[in-house]
Amino acid sequence: MPAFIDFKKELNPDQYVAVTAPADVPALVLAGAGSGKTRTLTYRVAHFVGECGIYPQELLLLTFTNKAANQMLERVNALTGVETWKFWGGTFHSIGNKFLRKEGEAIGIKPDFTIADAEDSEKLLKHCVEEISPNFFKKKENPRAALLKEIISYSRNTCMSIEDAMRDRFSWIETPPEDIEKIARAYENRRREGLICDFDDLLELWHRLLLEVPSVCERYGARFKNVLVDEYQDTNTLQCKILDLLCKSGRISAVGDDAQCIYSWRGANIENILRFKKRYPNGSIYKVGLNYRSTPQILNFANSILEGFEAGEEFKKSLTASRADAHKPVIIRAMDSQSQARLVADYIEELTCGAHPPYKLSDIAILYRAHFQAMDMQLQMQYRNIPFAITSGLKFFEQAHIKDAVSQIKFAANPRDFVSFARFVKFLPKIGDKTAQKIYEKAVSVAEKSKISIIEAMAAKEVLAKVPEAARSIFPSVAAGLLDVSLAVRKSRAQNLPAADLFEKSVPAMKPKDMVRTVCDSWYSDCMKNAYEDWQDRVKDFDSLYEYASRFPDIDMFLASASLEISEGAGRDEKQAFGDRASLMTVHQAKGLEFPVVFIIGAAEGMFPLERCIEEGDVEEERRLFYVASTRAKDLLVITYPRVTFGKGHSDLREPSRFWHDIDSDLYERNY
């Protein structure tokens, strides 16, 4: 028998009304940031079990992460004393797996199927492509396997055709949609033949099972007296279709916040939560807005961000604070990104050393819209020896594309550096370690025989013959770019020698920033488009690398510094794996977290919101993202932006972000 719970005593009035809402009527709980969303959901489960006489096995709890599922079930266990195994609870994918193991034979899925992880499913897709279209990966305009899988997955989760998915999310891909559709069908056939399911199958086949076998749908629809869904705003079209079938009776309790829907790029559809009442006309919406996290001043600022968010009258809400008054959010304008980093580091040192009582570094988070905006912040933290961690990401100089770009310059500066050559050349299709070795050895042989440099030998026909056919059309551009940089390096070094005037005058002079631009604007950027879904953000990283290179007078100083950042940064990470350290992360990575002190850097137009999102019309999601960032702060919120940013060969004068610029100036303090 579940333990007695005094719900009125344990919950605030808004939570109590939401928790005790009838189980047989659709309920949407709009739980604002920091308002006790998980508490509301777990107490609703406890109410069903303890007060409504519903058995644990008659409830289905759906979440988006295993961590959230385990946390929720453990809290329910602590409240009710009911063992967690008695509930049907887990992620959408894990519950889909459970359904298919039990009922999948009704649609031809045997219960002993295996689940391919992300790496295995990518390999399987690659094999399918090579079988039905051997030349597919040889054409540089076609996406590589990882990106190809992303396209197909996005299509499946949004229930779009391949053509519509490409138009919606992958418009830069030149491959005809029908070619990718053919590959998708072959990939599906191979999975069915091999009794294999990938992660998307766990949802697709679950939906198909409920749709095509009414008896299964009706049986489980009757069994579950309520289906509880966490983070409802993050559901995609396919997940919502599953819920529609499973909850025909209307016994659904969805908890979410439309203002925190920030994953459309992953397929999340904000219309699912906004159209809840249209989907369930007899449903009710409950608002939970008492915030236990942030100060009134931070919440006033955050509420103002949402004033421009059009979500309908039923969804209008305003967070109220349970805490006492404290500091207003602070706005700091810096001259540029380096000045911004110094100001934030100064602030951190003051908070951790001069404040009474002082904050710990682990109390502090530095948030940014995209990784490329954090380079100077990372460098400043390292320079001052302030321990920090990059959450769910790599430090700037440890990212693959940055290391690839630097390795091209390193090889151009030192053609005996085979490691650097192998590093970037393997980015070309069909080139691995062995092929890279063969290409390099042939270049060395040609160089010795013809008495030319190894770099010059890269353009030789004998070397090109060692390059796989899939990369042969690109390799001449690789060789030409290396030669340009190599000659510029030689000229740069020769300028310090007595015989400098003997060096060929036709070779253009290049500073380190020009060499970075040469390698980044070449074949590599073109290849990235078909390798990475986030290639546009990676290209912006090159702007930061260019700006970093502009600080050095010669190429050897740049390479030495970049190499040290790569090696020393990795060493610091190992030393700081444990202990007190500040957190650096994108706003997406901060979702669900909270910190006493939050810095939002780069809060300027074109940076937050991103210029790309402004151009694509995604400003409202950027607004929600800024709201999420602001509501991570408990005690102190500091927002900074650089007045000037530098790109490849130009500087931009930045205006303040529209998201805070239009807010009443009484709600924050200026520190400039």
> Phi/psi of residue 657, each to 5°?
-60, 140
Which helix (H) or strand (E) element contains residue 304?
helix 296-305
Q: Rounded to 10 degrees, what is the CA torsion of 67, 68, 69, 74? A: 90
- Under a CB-based contact definition with an 8 Å cutoff, are residues 598 and 302 in contact? no
What six digits make up the tokens of 282? 């007899």
Q: Which long-range CB contacts under 8 A does 470-475 form with residues at least 24 apart? A: 470/137, 470/138, 470/428, 470/429, 470/430, 471/428, 471/429, 471/430, 471/431, 473/140, 474/140, 474/428, 474/523, 474/527, 475/428
Q: Quote the CA–CA distance of 176 and 490 in Å, as a whole number.
A: 44
- Annotated binding-site members: 31-38
CA distance 528 to 510: 25
How far apart are alpha carbons 8 and 601 in whole angstroms?
Answer: 42
Question: Can you read off the two tokens belonging to residue 79?
Answer: 């409240």
CA atoms within 13 A on the CB side of 287: 12
- SS3 call for 220: helix
Residue 562 corresponds to which amino acid? Answer: A
Specify binding-site residues for ATP: 31-38
* Residue 318: DSSP 8-state: -
Query: What amino acid is encoded at 125 in this protein?
Result: L
- Phi and psi dihedrals of 155, rounded to 5? -60, -45
**Cis (ω within 30 of 0) for the bond into 357?**
yes
Q: CA distances (Å), 31 to each of 24, 198, 220, 420, in order?
A: 20, 33, 28, 51
CA gap 158, 145 in Å, rounded:
20
Identify each DSSP E strand in 508-661 by its residue range. 582-586, 595-600, 633-642, 644-646, 651-653
* 651-653/644-646 β-pairing: antiparallel
Taking the C-alpha atoms of residue 39 and residue 76, their distance in angstroms, rounded to an integer, is 10
Please report where in the chains the tokens 């198909």 appear, as a residue.
Answer: 208
| Residue 573 and residue 339 in contact, taking contact as beta carbons nearer than 8 Å | no
In order of 274, 566, 609, the CA distances from 654 in angstroms are 34, 30, 12
Of 469, 432, 436, nearest in space to 134 by CA: 469
Based on C-alpha coordinates, what's the Rg of the chain?
28
- Whole-angstrom CA distances from 301 to 96, 500, 665 are 41, 61, 10
Residues 153 and 200: beta-carbon distance below 8 Å: yes
Nearest Cα neighbor of 540 from 602, 600, 485 is 602
